[in-house]
Amino acid sequence: MSTDADGGGDGDRTPPAGVEFVHEDDGRVTARHVESGVASFGDTEVEALRQLADALDSHFGEGEEIDDPEAYLAEQGIDVEIGSDGPPPWLE
């Protein structure tokens, strides 16, 4: 894993102020908002930034509220198996 604070990973682009990129060994790129520590990833820096924007919206309370998290996950094709510890806190 390597950190690319000057944006050299996808050409000569400079990341937005306060964002750093981490190029993972598996080829994915992690974008991290330095001030809050919120991070997300994608296959490219651009995709990682898009995902980071959504994560920051959620972190700062500006995301869309999901009325029925289990139904939403099912619609997205995400199969959630609840373990013996019960559901994760965000599904309660």
What is the token pair recorded at 39? 């991070």
Contact 59, 36 (CB under 8 A): yes
CA distance 44 to 68: 31
Is the pTM higher than 0.75? no
Q: pLDDT tens digit string along 12-67?
A: 466 678 999 999 999 999 999 999 999 999 999 999 999 999 899 888 887 678 88
